């Protein structure tokens, strides 16, 4: 293919890019693909999840700046480009009944207007492939669900200069494929769980699988398995860069790397939209594009 391949990954918060599809992005960067992470919010309302930083007054009072620096470090590790869409974190409402979302937050924006910021970035970067979250957000965080909504609108209308005029949003561009990140899937979890037990090790996934069973969560369609095991270390290094969100001694890293690579050496996606012909299952997000 004579034209440069470009991948855009749309995420809700800084750290999402490192926990969802990071090894895939590192693989494509290594192959010469241009990769851009679009981060919808600054993560301003995110909790400090790393117990080693809880109670740190500076971090608590400057969480926006701290998370921006973490994103800078993760971006360098992955070798990707990254742009902020500039929306404000909605937070994760808790309680019964749930409290209202804070005024002005990302999840309360008009979907078409908010999608305009992503349309402008798509038209500037010109990706053939976009990854985002499914209609449930991967998990039901308001910002993840809103990320899905604006991604769908932007994918459909980035080439529509009547809806998003060229004078304001730049020349039209039509991306070819859109995928949902599905890295947290039952098949992968079961494979890692079994691999740990087979080696006489304690698995961190027993309770996960029990919850899945009790809640009756339906399985998503895994259309695309991208082989990227050799980039798992880069993924983990990028994830650890988000120190406020990730405890390096926590559950993310309880499965030894050699077991991960042997039991499940891919990252998974669900093909949601395609304007090119492709044959499922795939092992490449650019299947059907490279040869056109």
> What are the residue boundaries of the structural domains of the chain, listed by start?
6-185+221-274, 186-219
Nearest Cα to Cα of residue 190 among 171, 172, 206: 206
Tokens coding 9:
């990954």
pLDDT score of 132: 98
Residue numbers in the chain where pLDDT is lower than 70: 1-2
pLDDT at residue number 96: 83
Q: How wide is the angle at C-alpha 162 spanned by C-alphas 159 and 166, nearest 5°?
A: 65
- State residue 215 phi and psi, 5-degree precision: -80, -15
Q: How far is CA 37 from the centre of its chain?
A: 9
**Cα–Cα distance measured from residue 216 to residue 206, given in angstroms and rounded to the nearest whole number:** 16
- The SS3 of residue 113 is helix
At 35 the pLDDT is 98
Would you state the pLDDT for residue 39? Answer: 98
Helices within the chain (DSSP H only): 16-19, 22-30, 57-61, 63-78, 111-125, 142-157, 166-169, 186-198, 206-215, 232-241, 257-263
Instruction: Say how far apart CA 253 and CA 247 lie, in whole Å.
Output: 9
d(CA 275, CA 229): 29
The pLDDT assigned to 78 comes to: 98
Torsion angles phi and psi, residue 253, rounded to 5: -120, 25
Q: Is 144 annotated as a binding residue?
A: yes
Reading the block at residue 260, the tokens are 């991960």
- In this predicted structure, what is the pLDDT of residue 1? 45
Architecture per CATH, domain 6-185+221-274, reads as 3-Layer(aba) Sandwich (3.40)
Does 16 show up as a binding residue in the annotation? yes
Residue 236 among known ligand-binding residues: no
Q: What is the pLDDT of residue 215?
A: 78
- Say how far apart CA 3 and CA 5 lie, in whole Å: 6
């Amino acid at each position: 293919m004579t034209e440069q391949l470009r991948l855009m990954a749309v995420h809700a918060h800084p750290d999402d890019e490192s926990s969802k599809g990071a090894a895939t992005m590192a693989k494509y960067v290594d192959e010469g693909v241009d990769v851009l992470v679009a981060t919808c919010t600054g993560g301003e309302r995110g909790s400090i999840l790393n117990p080693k930083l809880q109670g740190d007054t500076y971090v608590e009072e400057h969480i926006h700046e701290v998370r921006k620096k973490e994103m800078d470090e993760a971006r360098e590790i992955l070798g990707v480009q990254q742009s902020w869409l500039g929306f404000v974190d909605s937070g994760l409402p808790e309680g019964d009944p749930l409290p209202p979302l804070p005024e002005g937050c990302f999840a309360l924006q008009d979907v078409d207007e908010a999608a305009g910021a992503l349309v402008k970035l798509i038209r500037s970067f010109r990706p053939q492939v976009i990854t985002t979250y499914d209609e449930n957000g991967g998990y039901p965080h308001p910002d993840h669900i809103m990320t899905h909504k604006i991604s769908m609108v932007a994918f459909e209308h980035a080439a529509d200069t009547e809806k998003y005029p060229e004078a304001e949003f730049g020349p039209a561009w039509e991306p070819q494929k859109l995928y949902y990140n599905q890295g947290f899937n039952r098949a992968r979890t079961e494979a890692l769980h079994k691999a740990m037990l087979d080696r006489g090790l304690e698995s961190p996934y027993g309770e996960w699988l029990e919850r899945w069973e009790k809640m009756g969560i339906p399985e998503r369609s895994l259309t695309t398995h991208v082989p990227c095991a050799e980039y798992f270390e880069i993924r983990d290094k990028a994830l650890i860069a988000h120190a406020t969100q990730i405890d390096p001694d926590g559950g993310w890293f309880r499965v030894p790397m050699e077991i991960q690579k042997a039991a499940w050496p891919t990252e998974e996606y669900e093909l949601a939209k395609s304007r090119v012909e492709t044959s499922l299952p795939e092992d490449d997000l650019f299947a059907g594009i490279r040869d056109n």
